[in-house]
Structure 1
Amino acid sequence: MAGELPPPPRSMGAVVGAQLFLELLVNQQETGRIIAVEQRIGRFFVPASVLREVGIKLPQELSGEVALDSLAGLHSDYDSNGQRLLLDVPPAWLPEQLIGNRSSYPRTEAVSSFGALLNYDLYLNDTDDSGTYLAAWNEVRLFDSWGTLSNTGQYRRTIGGASDSGPLNNGYRRYDTTWRYSDDERLLTYEVGDVVSGALPWSSSVRLGGIQLSRDFAVRPDLVTYPLPQFVGEAAVPSSMDLFINGYKSSSVELQPGPYTLTNVPLINGAGEAVVITTDALGRQVSTTVPFYVTSSLLQKGLSDFSVATGHLRRDYTVRDFGYGPGVASGSLRYGLSDTLTLESHAEISQSLTLGGVGGNLQLGNFGVINTALSQSQFEGKTGQQMSLGYQYNSQLYSLSYQRLERRGEYADLSVVDSPYTRLSQRSEQVTLSLNLDSWGSLGAGYFDVRAADDSRTRLLNLSWSKPLWRSASFYLSTNREIGDSNWAMQAQLVIPFDLHGSLSLGSERSKSGESRQRVNFSHSVPSEGGVGYNLGYASGNGSDYRQADLTWRLQAVRLQAGVYGDSNAQTRWADAAGSLVWMGREVFAANQINDAFVVISTGGFSKIPVRYENQLVGETDRNGHLLVPWSSAYYRGKYEIDPLSLAANVQSPNVEQRIAVRRGSGYLLEFALRRVIAASIILVDGQRKELPLGSLVLHEQSGVQAVVGWDGLVYLENLAADNTLRVTLADGRTCQAQFEVDVQQEQVPLIGPLKCQ
């Protein structure tokens, strides 16, 4: 009919040219962008820069506007109702996603405060046929941000009768004096004084008086140094992914379209199986099973571990205070050439010794790890070689380990330089096997073969079986035999726990000579929060009996022990007291022995404030506002918190929870800045005792703080003095003044007034 409008176009192809502003979606994932799209004769044109900005990888030669239908592999669709441009591209065109990291938790820089620590252990021994003696071991530490200076030693005194140590050993003996500083940024530890040289599995450590520089991964427990498996794949559309390790769900993450690499694998060791399940928006699932093998004996690619020490060999350790021998040097190096190969090297030198060796650890796919090393020495003009070869495999079903060490010629290392009568063994070989039999328990076997320097040979075979029984009871059986001897030695043990009352252990053993002995033991361990524990034992066989009894009482400040053991011919009575004294924050604290780091909580003088460490209540602050937390692990990012519910209404704290890491062997004074706020709520009225108008401006003249009058003439003020003056400015410009007094020792926020403002 004449005058009617033509029908609308059925598709964009009917439009000659238009500019559209459309929402962009890539592989069903919203980009959050509205882009300008040119439509020309049914073709869509988009700037190449826009596609690159949303993560699509395009050839470098493309620039300007790009026709979408000219890109092979890209499919576009125009949604006219939703005004959207839908693009589908191959997942490889999209950015790669790295899911997870190699850190087990966020890093916290380690700290230390100035302080001192004394560890002590007093031991009294009285034996019927050996006399009585007192031994007092001690460790003294002084620490700050510059490091830790420690000294260990023992004082010994014969009290009565004959003593095995003899009168010449009475008195004080110094053990080790060392200054140590760890740089957790560079993963280095510096030591000066009495040190133990670093070593590899196929070399030996020696005690030195000198200096040592070493890589120290322990200062960064958040880092994983050995290679962990990673899983790669592609997601065409937004999906969720679940990771199962050995049948247990490990993690669940959301995936964007594109390739991905999954690295958030838990810390595991040995052989295992990973199952990766991806689920898209429509519920379609794809499952992939990947076997893997993980070992902590390797280093990640590019990581290095080393130690270098030089000084004088320690001589007559624990016998002389200052006994040092010839000067020596030692160095070890490990380097992760790849995630499957770690190289090793070691060198030692002295005036009479030169030693060098190389080795490595190689992962054989999912079939375990092989290690080998070769070293050569020249000692006093005589040469020798040492060769080692080993293999390890661990899985949930079984574990196998083999290690062989063989020495030829006159091989020597630093352990024999200052010991003229010491010679290294010629060969050692060992094989161990363990089997997991599920409900039948676990079976273990071991073979050990050692040929000593004098050509004597010892071969030992050991078999063991353990099985859990009802509830928490367990049974253990062990037998061993020296090859060349037809007799076996056996031991059987049954352990029956009685909940909180203790644990009963019954055992029987037979020596290779045919003698048998039966044992019964009943023990109750000390509760974790402190208290009393005991141990009672009796053994009979071979014509004699053996009895023992001891009691442990662990208090917050000290651990006390006493006991007696022996047979009818001779008995030994003993007593022990062990603990620590800490000086920090101008106060002395008593606690059980502190072998690592610790923290002193300070609440600014406020007493009886509950303190928690890792969500566990550890105590309340003392009258000086301090509490010692002696269980902190060095470099661990521990959580410390105070309970603000016990605080008075006028006490404020900027925070009630802090996370810190403390340096090895030191302590830290952790302050929670509690402060008492002198505050009051004041009702202001005028001369007719009518509340001042809402919004009137109030100035506290002593502090200069301003406030505003609220409903019912109420105003709240902090930082008040004993005598206070308020100046109030009303809406019409008039002013008035009020004065009042406050008790600065008050523990509540008082309500003052009505106060007349004149």
Structure 2
Amino acid sequence: MDRGGAKTGLIGGVATASLLAMIVVGPVAAAPRKIELLGGPGAAGVRKIPVQNPAQPPQQILIPGAPAAQPPKPAPLKTTRLNPSSKTITMVVTLKDRQATLGDVEVQVAPDDTIQVAVDQVFELLRKTVDPVALEPLRPLAEPGVFAPLERFAAANLPLTFDARTLELAVAVPASARPRQSIGLAELDRITYGEFARPEPFSAYANFRGAVDYVHESSGETGLGDGLVLLDGAARFGGIVVEGEGSWQGGDDGGFTRDGTRAVYDDIRNLNRWVAGDLIQQSRGFQGIQEMGGISVSKTYALLDPQRNVAPRGGRTFTVNRESTVEAFINGNSVRTIRLQPGTYDVSDFPFVQGSNDVQLVITDDAGQRDVVSFSIFIDRTQLAAGLSEYALYAGVGSNRLGGSIDYSGKAAASGFYRYGLSENLTLGGNFQYFDKSGMIGGEAVWGSPLGTIGGDVAVSQLDSVGSGWAFNVSYERLIQDQGGGLSILATAEARSENFGAPGQLTPQNPYVINTSFSINKSFGDSSFAGIQLRYAKARDAFEDEQSVRLTYGRRLTDKMNVIFDADWAEGGTAGGATFRVSLVRRFGTSGSMRAEYDSRDSRVRLGYQTSGGRGVGAWSGAGNLDLGKDLYGLNGSLTYAANRADLGIAHSTAYSQVTNDISDQRTSLRAATGIAYAGGRVAVGRPISDGFVIVKPYAGGKDIAIEVEPSPDGYYAKSGVLGPALYGQVSAYSPRTVTFDAPGAPAGFDVGTGAIRVYPPYRAGYVATVGSDYGVTAVGRLLRQDGEPLTLLAGVAIEQGGEGRRVEIFTNRSGSFGAGGLKAGRWRIEMPSDPPLVYELVITDAPNGIARSGDLRPVP
């Protein structure tokens, strides 16, 4: 990018390459050209950019010293043309489906900036997200080398949008064109184009998330609380990753607690992940989660989350490992905020969620980390494509980390599952679980029938404490999309025997003999929607039968305002009678919204507002809710700010009793989170790292030059400075990514190289990108023979005299003009293999805007 100087990024590099090509070739010739940009200082690879002309076969012109072409970085605000040359150029850009990156495709940019896209590459990337029938209109064009205008994709009902600012393609896939929910070959089999940088052989990072509370009201102590710091990190050496989590609590009873440690190895060829240590499990069907230390192997199409604080325990139970604030949502509406101590809980312990079909708990610990646990009678059914399988096997000994440290029981524990796509429409699977003389075995099936998705789970258990039991569930789902809106039908039924439970449960809680639910929802275009949910549960023993009806209607009043009505009737259990809720939502711009809600259940009014602004460093967000009711009020709010080296926040929460409307806890929290990373001999500090990271630093001669990472007209995500290199920590494993950078404040002649690093990172990988070089000058002039005639159509070399002794290829066109990039101020010797060989002296003393004009040069003796 060029902001008042001659810094060269990708766009500048392409434009410079086009300019040099015209200088070298002279008048436009009939034959098309291939410009091969050879990596200069800091280049990450070599890329050939074809300039299309279907009338003639290609020839190749080498332009030395130009930066290696990489997927584009965001263009400067002042850039109004993508292709300033008179030739069609081809570049590689990212294709996105909503927020998901599908991969890279080639696009052609004509001299008038019209765009054409490689059909075969788009076709291949869309095969995993678009129904095959919807792709048929593109199939005739999906041949190598065939490019089509954007209008052709729109005509195929798969419109593409090209963002000239970020240089990205976005596909808008209609809901009717998306296939039934399924899992394919995951991210690891994505076709990628171009070259990728290698991760450092050794890298490591650590995140620190700290918080301190001021407790205004509580059943325990009030006032300024003891500080809490959560730690997590990882180190990667070769293909082995060692990762762990822990916490430090202040106060007399505090200290360090290890929450988990494990070694991870990914066998990419077979898509297997091997783990040894404190295992983090995935479950299927009626399986619960039994914490254990041991070994595991898994092949699944979702990455594990080692920092998970909350784990479902089977049935309607879950465990909280740290003191946390819990906000309960029923059918998408917030109904109560409570405070929980570490322990295992059952949803039935909370009267305010009984009788509900869809319960979601948002659990936030004192350091601000959030986990979401959903308990829904609607079962998420996923299918595998024909011939694909996924599995997991965990074996070891049971463990418990609720008491401040991890206690290994010495009792054998094991669990696992296997799923196989028998056909495109049928997926079968089995699972088992064992712990301390108790076990469970189960099976599952998902059938994508012509009438909808039908699925079921079945299991039998043998618990040492209560004996044997059984359980099954079945579900039916039908989704219909048309131009007038969508219609969804969901029906489920689940039955459990009294003594059924997952191993690890001492006393199973199964209050229902059978639990059934039916839901139908209909949208009417973009203007309104309506739905009805019915539930009936047949109870056992001392419990009451439960039944409920819920009606929902929502309508858009204006482009920025909508209203939602909910009416509920329930009978049995602790819930009873009729209630209603009305919500009015008003949006302000693209990031702000206000919500006013009245709930007749406890005569409560909630007023809420949320907004955000900025991008990257300087981004902020704020949210607040005011609850008003009989003899009570409560305030919940938060404000966050993204600094260059840390995330900062303040929050205030009000929690209520589980059984009454009394306030049980009220506190204000100050929070800060930062990350420290090491790779390639460099240490960097920045915001917390989620998976992999990139350290971006200026070259040795540019220590005072600030480098911005992921720059755009709206800001940047990290910046180097007094505290050292920039740290960008949002790099996901096994997903191709281009991380861009720039130096907007650098002096003229500073060369940022490719302006990007392209990565395909393994798990927890670290990269280092060095930005800049003194070799950022382009020399333009003309070479003459001894008799004054131009030296035409000849390739030679420019050799630096002193310094690094760099060699740069140089070419002349029909008029003897040349353009050579990748030079710096100083003396250069030009050797041209003519007959006889000629030698020229090029002296670069001044290069305003990075261009040195030498004029006519004659041979030296």
**Band the TM-score falls in, shorter-chain normalisation:** 0.5 to 0.7
1:636 counterpart residue number:
735
Worse overlay, 137-146 or 109-118: 109-118
**2:672 maps to amino acid:** A
1:209 aligns with 2:296: no
2:278 counterpart residue number:
194
Deviation at 1:367, TM superposition (A): 3.3
**2:288 maps to amino acid:** S
Q: Separation in 1 of the partners of 2:288 and 2:751?
A: 57
Distance change >3 Å, CA 367–CA 741, structure 1 → 2:
closer
1:447 counterpart residue number:
535
**1:123 maps to amino acid:** A
The answer to whether the 8 Å contact 1:111/1:663 transfers is no
Q: Separation in 1 of the partners of 2:751 and 2:591?
A: 45
- The answer for unaligned runs of 5 or more in structure 1 is 1-96, 159-166, 221-294
The answer to whether the 8 Å contact 2:490/2:520 transfers is no
1:151 counterpart residue number:
244
Q: Separation in 1 of the partners of 2:501 and 2:606?
A: 45
Distance change >3 Å, CA 675–CA 430, structure 1 → 2:
farther
Deviation at 1:334, TM superposition (A): 0.8
Structure 1 counterpart of 2:587, from 475, 497, 508: 497
Structure 1 counterpart of 2:720, from 622, 633, 648: 622
Q: Separation in 2 of the partners of 1:371 and 1:125?
A: 46
Distance change >3 Å, CA 561–CA 693, structure 1 → 2:
closer
The answer to whether the 8 Å contact 1:174/1:318 transfers is no
2:45 counterpart residue number:
none
Q: Separation in 2 of the partners of 1:568 and 1:371?
A: 42
Q: Separation in 1 of the partners of 2:795 and 2:582?
A: 87
**1:205 maps to amino acid:** I
Q: Separation in 2 of the partners of 1:410 and 1:460?
A: 26
The answer to whether the 8 Å contact 2:641/2:648 transfers is yes
Q: Separation in 2 of the partners of 1:425 and 1:672?
A: 64
Deviation at 1:594, TM superposition (A): 3.0
Deviation at 1:574, TM superposition (A): 2.2
- Secondary structure, in 3 states, of the residue corresponding to 1:185? coil
Q: Separation in 1 of the partners of 2:436 and 2:718?
A: 59
Residues 563-612 of structure 1: CA distance to partner in whole angstroms, max 9, x if unpaired? 44559998533212233333334444343333344434467556456654
The answer to whether the 8 Å contact 2:742/2:752 transfers is no
Deviation at 1:708, TM superposition (A): 8.4
- The answer for unaligned runs of 5 or more in structure 2 is 1-138, 144-183, 305-379, 655-661
Residues 37-77 of structure 1: CA distance to partner in whole angstroms, max 9, x if unpaired? xxxxxxxxxxxxxxxxxxxxxxxxxxxxxxxxxxxxxxxxx
The answer to whether the 8 Å contact 1:426/1:453 transfers is no
The answer to whether the 8 Å contact 1:557/1:592 transfers is yes
1:433 counterpart residue number:
519
Q: Separation in 2 of the partners of 1:691 and 1:344?
A: 83
- Secondary structure, in 3 states, of the residue corresponding to 2:504? helix
Deviation at 1:348, TM superposition (A): 2.5
The answer to whether the 8 Å contact 2:206/2:675 transfers is yes
Worse overlay, 615-624 or 659-668: 615-624
- Secondary structure, in 3 states, of the residue corresponding to 1:200? coil
Deviation at 1:413, TM superposition (A): 2.9
Distance change >3 Å, CA 390–CA 100, structure 1 → 2:
farther
The answer to whether the 8 Å contact 2:779/2:823 transfers is no
1:575 aligns with 2:661: no
Deviation at 1:683, TM superposition (A): 7.8
The answer to whether the 8 Å contact 1:641/1:656 transfers is yes
The answer to whether the 8 Å contact 2:460/2:468 transfers is no
The answer to whether the 8 Å contact 1:558/1:577 transfers is yes
- Secondary structure, in 3 states, of the residue corresponding to 2:491? strand
2:634 counterpart residue number:
546
Residues 245-303 of structure 1: CA distance to partner in whole angstroms, max 9, x if unpaired? xxxxxxxxxxxxxxxxxxxxxxxxxxxxxxxxxxxxxxxxxxxxxxxxxx962222211
1:356 counterpart residue number:
441
Structure 2 counterpart of 1:401, from 490, 511, 514: 490
Worse overlay, 702-711 or 534-543: 702-711
Structure 2 counterpart of 1:141, from 210, 234, 237: 234
- Secondary structure, in 3 states, of the residue corresponding to 1:663? coil
- Secondary structure, in 3 states, of the residue corresponding to 2:633? strand
The answer to whether the 8 Å contact 1:184/1:219 transfers is no
**2:728 maps to amino acid:** V
Distance change >3 Å, CA 736–CA 595, structure 1 → 2:
closer
Structure 2 counterpart of 1:534, from 622, 628, 632: 622
2:126 counterpart residue number:
none
Distance change >3 Å, CA 475–CA 622, structure 1 → 2:
same
Deviation at 1:467, TM superposition (A): 2.7
Q: Separation in 1 of the partners of 2:764 and 2:808?
A: 47
1:370 aligns with 2:455: yes
- What aligned pairs does 1:649-688 form with structure 2 within 5 A after superposition? 655=754, 659-669=758-768, 676=775
1:178 aligns with 2:262: yes
Residues 609-663 of structure 1: CA distance to partner in whole angstroms, max 9, x if unpaired? 6654899974686369954433333322223445699998867787556643323
Q: Separation in 2 of the partners of 1:345 and 1:147?
A: 30
The answer to whether the 8 Å contact 2:498/2:511 transfers is no
1:521 aligns with 2:616: no
Deviation at 1:191, TM superposition (A): 1.5
Deviation at 1:306, TM superposition (A): 0.7
1:347 aligns with 2:450: no
The answer to whether the 8 Å contact 2:197/2:758 transfers is no
Distance change >3 Å, CA 675–CA 184, structure 1 → 2:
farther
Q: Separation in 2 of the partners of 1:175 and 1:619?
A: 30
1:488 counterpart residue number:
578
TM-score by length of 2: 0.56
- Secondary structure, in 3 states, of the residue corresponding to 1:535? strand
Larger RCO of the pair (alpha carbons < 8 Å, separation 6+) = 2
1:508 counterpart residue number:
598
- Secondary structure, in 3 states, of the residue corresponding to 1:593? coil
Distance change >3 Å, CA 670–CA 127, structure 1 → 2:
same
- Secondary structure, in 3 states, of the residue corresponding to 2:577? coil
TM-score by length of 1: 0.63
Deviation at 1:154, TM superposition (A): 1.9
The answer to whether the 8 Å contact 2:413/2:434 transfers is yes
Larger of the two Rg values belongs to structure: 1
The CA RMSD measured in Å over matched residues stands at 4.7
Deviation at 1:309, TM superposition (A): 0.4
Distance change >3 Å, CA 143–CA 189, structure 1 → 2:
same
Q: Separation in 1 of the partners of 2:652 and 2:789?
A: 82
Deviation at 1:213, TM superposition (A): 0.6
Q: Separation in 2 of the partners of 1:697 and 1:190?
A: 54
Deviation at 1:560, TM superposition (A): 2.0
**2:720 maps to amino acid:** D
The answer to whether the 8 Å contact 1:450/1:458 transfers is yes
Worse overlay, 476-485 or 674-683: 674-683
- Secondary structure, in 3 states, of the residue corresponding to 1:126? strand
Q: Separation in 1 of the partners of 2:621 and 2:651?
A: 12
Worse overlay, 342-351 or 588-597: 588-597
- Secondary structure, in 3 states, of the residue corresponding to 1:176? strand
The answer to whether the 8 Å contact 2:498/2:510 transfers is no
- What aligned pairs does 1:214-363 form with structure 2 within 5 A after superposition? 214-218=298-302, 297-317=382-402, 319-363=404-448
Q: Separation in 2 of the partners of 1:697 and 1:110?
A: 31
Distance change >3 Å, CA 187–CA 757, structure 1 → 2:
closer
